[in-house]
Amino acid sequence: MTAPAAGRLVLPEGTDHLRPRPLGPEARVAVVAADYHATIVGRLLDGAVATLEAAGLGRDRITVATAPGAFELPLVARALAETGGYAAVVTLGCVIRGGTPHFDYVCAEAARGVGAASRETGVPIAFGVLTCDTLEQAEERAGGAHGNKGEEAATAAIHAAGTLAAIGG
C-alpha cells in the first residue's frame, strides 16, 4: 500500500483560513546538511536551495551549515534557531538501514531532536532526513520517481514560518 500523495487541504466552507504570509525581504533560512551519504544529501540540498530561491530568497539569504551525520542535525539546527536570525531551518540527511539496530537509534534521535529543537525554540525546523532500507530507495527520494525530500522540507519550512508570521500579526 502506498501513502496518499501530498496535496492541498480543502477547508470546510465558511471557515476562516489563516493563510501563511510570504517570507519578508529580510528573512533568512538556514539549511543543515549531513556530510554522511554526501552524494544523496547533495541532491537534497540542491532541491532545498532551488525551492527557497523559487520562494524569493536570494542565495545571500540562505545559510548552509553541515553536520557529520543525521544524529548531529538537531544540535546544529537548534544552535542556528537560537540565534534568532532565521525564519526557519531545514535539516537534510540520509540514513540507510544496515544489519544492526544503529539505524533505528539514529533515525529516532534525529527525528526526536529536530522536533524538540523546533518546539523549544519556536522556529520551524523541517525534517528532511531520508530513512531508507536501501541506497536505491534513497536515490528515488533524492530526485527520482518519488520527488525530492529536500524540496519538500524547504516547502514545509517556508509554509510553517509563514503561518507563524500570520499568527503573530
Query: Measured between alpha carbons, how far is residue 14 from residues 7, 11, 17, 103 in Å?
Result: 21, 8, 9, 46
146 is catalytic: no
Catalytic option among 17, 37, 102, 146 = 102
Location of C-alpha cell 538501514: 97
- In 3D, which of 106, 104, 128 has the Cα closest to residue 49? 128
Catalytic (active-site) positions: 102
